[in-house]
Chain A
Amino acid sequence: MRANSAKALVLPLAVLVAFEVWARATHLQSDSLAPPSEIVMALFGAFADLSILTATRDTLFSAFAGLAIGTTIGLAFGIAFGISDTLDRLMEVTVEAIRPIPSIALLPIALIALGFGYRMEIVIVAFACVWPVLILSRAAVRSIEPRLMEVARALRLPSAQRVWKIIIPAALPRIFVAFRLSAGIALIVAVTVEIAINPLGLGAGIMLAQQALRPDLMLAYLVWIGVIGYALNVLLVVAQNRLFGRAALSGDGA
């Protein structure tokens, strides 16, 4: 494992070093590129004056709030559609009509309705997060072992308990995969909204650096967003294995 991951780092490191050497040799003057050393320095600078930390806080706040709202809505509808065929058929056209709308296309409406700031961004992130959770949790509920539902019926489990004690735990490993997917989307959409129009967070930080002709700072923000996205995914994968290692295995094995 260790030797493999070390090998995987060889190519990126070589590219970085080559780029650094080339940038210095040619005395690179650019509005879009900067040598790695300057990017690192800019990143340290942004940490030192706390600007990147404030931006990170703003972006993550919007992304997580939107993720929480979107996941809740998606989960509620996904479970309801999974349980009730009637409801699913009734809502199918509506869902399929709304789902393909790119979330970012809601930006003009959200801006008029809610103005600049967190609320507008949260609404757009939430809209984007609803769909993966809705579609996957509906499928997860559909694919629950029918025997478990018969056990619930034979035990005369009241329907609220049936959802809470059978359906949600049985579907949870798959629902968590949907949540991971949505978490990635939440970060992408939040930064996109900030780049497009909202004057806060990491996206706005990139735009500001670009307009100030600071490619080093702009790229530093980019690197930092990558680090956050990577860390978020690692965190969720670890959580998934911790929480559902056993359940996921037995679910697939059955």
Chain B
Amino acid sequence: MASAAKRLEAVYGTATPQIAFDGVTLVLGGKTIIENLSLGVRPGEFLCIVGASGCGKTTALRLAAGLYQPTSGKVNFDGQPMREPRREIAIVFQDYGKALLPWRTAAGNVSLALEAGGMPSAERPARIEELLRTVGLPGHAGKYPSEMSGGMQQRLQIARCLAQEPKTLLMDEPFGALDAMTRQGLQDEVLSLVAASGATVIFVTHDLDEAIYLGDRVIGLLPHPGRIGIELSVNLPRPRDQLSTREHPEFLRLRRQLFDFIKATEQ
């Protein structure tokens, strides 16, 4: 424990991390999913987590969201222990089809987050319109999720998360089910949304290129049980660009390093 705290201090100086895992172990159904995970995320940082399937990256995100409680160790948010989900933390699920309410329109789905936050009904329509415009869905307020494409549904879920005005945005393979073009478009939109709001992001993905393209830092997890295997700082200039960033020598070097790591874990 002491070493974990020391390590955090060494990496971040005196700045308190917004989210801090301190020696977190999670046992579910007699199986150790995550073991002794220590990790700090600075305010405003974009952290990507990659790893082979079953390495516990989604579980780590759920711990950060307060949806799971660690078996031992601590998860802190702004120095406070996380006992349950918080309004300041929003989570974007991979399976947008299941996370949206099929009986509510796009506006209704965004409204749910505002209702949960206790916003008076008179103020909601203007805010909903603004949020839908932010995620590129103006004019779709009256559509049901079943009438929208996958990319549009994921935008809608992001709009609902932004309605929480989160300090931290947790994203669980949000673009995993989308086609390559939609995916690149949404990557850039998330980057500009995050830049505008200054939110801290933890982004889980199995796409290594995506992790490097988006992140300030990439963490690779080792499976069975989940623990940190590699940690890379991404010193690529922002704003990132789909062509020039991906051709940057540093991008290629990191990509190589990350691929080698993943290959090694799979053997």
Contact = CB atoms under 8 A, between A and B. Distances in A.
A153 B87 CA distance: 10
Contact of B102 (A150, A151, A153, A250): A250
B67 interface: yes
Contact of A150 (B67, B145, B146): B67
Between B84, B87, B102, B146, the greatest number of chain A beta carbons within 10 A of the residue's beta carbon is seen for B102
B251 interface: no
Nearest to A172: B103
Contacts of A250: 102, 145-146
B85 to A, nearest CB: 5
Contact of B85 (A148, A153, A249): A153
A158 B86 CA distance: 12
A161 B146 contact: no
A156 B144 contact: no
A151 B99 contact: yes
Interface string A164-190: 011001101000000000000000000
A153 B115 CA distance: 13
B103 A156 contact: no
Interface of B: 65, 67, 84-87, 89-91, 93, 95, 97-99, 101-103, 112-113, 115-116, 144-146, 164
A157 interface: yes
Nearest to B96: A147
Given A147-B93, A147-B99, A246-B102, 8 more contacts: A150-B99, A154-B90, A155-B112, A157-B115, A161-B115, A165-B112, A169-B101, A250-B145
A148 B113 contact: no
Nearest to B104: A169
A161 B85 contact: no
Interface in A210-254: 246-247, 249-251, 254
Contacts of B65: 154
Given A147-B93, A148-B101, A155 B146 contact: no
Nearest to B161: A154
A4 to B, nearest CB: 30
A251 B67 contact: no
Interface of A: 145, 147-148, 150-151, 153-158, 161, 165-166, 169-170, 172, 246-247, 249-251, 254
B46 to A, nearest CB: 20
A76 to B, nearest CB: 21
9 contacts: A147-B99, A150-B91, A150-B93, A150-B99, A151-B93, A169-B103, A246-B146, A247-B103, A254-B98
A198 B110 CA distance: 54
Contacts of A151: 93, 99
B116 A156 contact: yes
Contacts of B164: 155
Given A154-B67, A246-B103, A147 B98 contact: yes
A243 to B, nearest CB: 10
Contacts of A165: 112, 115
A254 B86 CA distance: 28
A230 to B, nearest CB: 30
A246 B112 contact: no
A50 B38 CA distance: 82
Contacts of B89: 154
A100 B118 CA distance: 45
A150 B90 CA distance: 11
A28 B146 CA distance: 62
Nearest to B113: A155
Nearest to A147: B98
Nearest to B65: A154
Contacts of A246: 102-103, 144, 146
Contacts of A166: 101
Contacts of A150: 67, 91, 93, 99
